[in-house]
Amino acid sequence: MAKLFEKVALIGIGLIGSSIAREIRDKGLAAAVTISTRSRETLDRAEVLGLGDRYVLSAGEAVEDADLVIVSVPVGASGTVAQAIAPHLKAGAIVTDVGSTKGSVIAQMAPHLPASVHFIPGHPIAGTEYSGPDSGFVGLFKSRWCILTPPAGTDETAKGQLRAFWEALGSDVEEMDPEHHDKVLAIVSHLPHIIAYNIVGTADDLETVTESEVIKYSASGFRDFTRLAASDPTMWRDVCLHNKDAILEMLSRFSEDLAYLQRAIRWGDGDKLFDLFTRTRAIRRSIIQAGQDTDMVDFGRHALDAKS
Ligand code: NAP
């Protein structure tokens, strides 16, 4: 594949950063990749894995001369990283991120970044419950959406270059307003994780059912929540704190609908239950038809997550 950038700087080299690094290496998308992360341990691991060409602890040093800078850290750390890299950015560089919330990341990063760079926030809708540089893999972004939230007046050429980059990783790219992004993600990603953390926490707190019973009989449904509830605590703490309004709005809708379901169960209203369960089944079929999951009995996870 053709080289898209001369120098790329990756700030943060966990699941997402290291998957991007592997893609760049695999597809030859850049002449040189510099990797920076805050801890010596993670940086050394990235070097052992051969994820880049240069490894530095200083984020500022990493972005010098970079044409593309990708920030892949927990969303709560975005402002600190922006502050650290701002004085070192090359004029004309594209600065992007992969954070799961967009309004807060923009509010944290934009005030620090010079007008001479193109700041185009982004969010690949792809991930797993694993974290760290070992967890990344080629293929993570294939056939997944990547949402860009460019501010009004963003340079079209820069936007086109970033779009081409994500497309080279196999993603479909869509542009969205950051506020809308945060609402959509609150329902499709943030709420499901919160519900999963909650149900697994409830099961852990039960006195009448033992932990060993929960684990033993988990294949009846519980285990599907545990995958989400095993996701990185730092990342998800930050998501909750940084998409507060949209999450609270969706949680309140969720609680109302749960109360409706609770009443239907209490009053033995089988028709209401049957109607809802029929409607939700159709959504599952639509997701499969849209290629966002498979109809294999294990949810196709082994095939989808296979490291290629
Ligand atoms: P990860 O595997 O936990 O890696 C996090 C990276 O950020 C590491 O390099 C870590 O450095 C660094 N980091 C952690 N805390 C930091 C801080 N306070 N200041 C500076 N650097 C810090 O995380 P990830 O899953 O790749 O997630 C990265 C971003 O992608 C997050 O914003 C997340 O919302 C977004 N995202 C995640 C997923 C997903 O499924 N995981 C999907 C889409 C988007 P050290 O190891 O050196 O401490």
Q: Which of 13, 70, 72 to mutate to test the pocket of ligand 1 (most atoms within 8 A of CB)?
A: 72
The pLDDT of 107-133, averaged and rounded, is: 97
The per-residue pLDDT for range 273-305, each reduced to its tens digit, is 999 999 999 999 999 999 988 888 665 555 544
Predicted confidence at residue 307, as pLDDT, reads 37
Q: Report the percent of the chain where pLDDT is more than 90.
A: 89
Compute the distance from residue 74 Cα to the ligand 1 centre, in Å. 4
Compute the distance from residue 235 Cα to the ligand 1 centre, in Å. 7
**Whether 12 and 155 share a structural domain:** yes
Q: Which of 38, 106, 123 to mutate to test the pocket of ligand 1 (most atoms within 8 A of CB)?
A: 38
Q: Could you report how far apart the first and last alpha carbons of the chain are, in Å?
A: 17
**Whether 50 and 115 share a structural domain:** yes
**Whether 127 and 184 share a structural domain:** no
Task: Look at residue 71 and give its three-state secondary structure.
Answer: strand
Domain that holds residue 102: 5-176
Question: Phi and psi for 289 in degrees, rounded to 5?
Answer: -65, -30
**Whether 278 and 142 share a structural domain:** no
Angle made by CA atoms 78, 79, 85, in degrees to the nearest 5: 90
The per-residue pLDDT for range 71-84, each reduced to its tens digit, is 999 999 999 999 99
Task: Look at residue 38 and give its three-state secondary structure.
Answer: coil
**Whether 237 and 289 share a structural domain:** yes
How does the average pLDDT of the chain come out, rounded? Answer: 95
The per-residue pLDDT for range 188-218, each reduced to its tens digit, is 999 999 999 999 999 999 988 888 998 999 8
Please give all residues whose beta carbon lies within 6 A of any atom in ligand 1, as ranges: 12-17, 37-39, 42, 72-75, 77, 80-81, 98-100, 123-124, 127-128, 131-132, 232, 235, 239
**Boundary residue ending a domain (176, 210, 237):** 176
For residues 262, 267, 270, 271, the Cα torsion angle rounded to the nearest 10 degrees is -90
**Boundary residue ending a domain (153, 176, 199):** 176
Predicted confidence at residue 306, as pLDDT, reads 44
Compute the distance from residue 181 Cα to the ligand 1 centre, in Å. 19
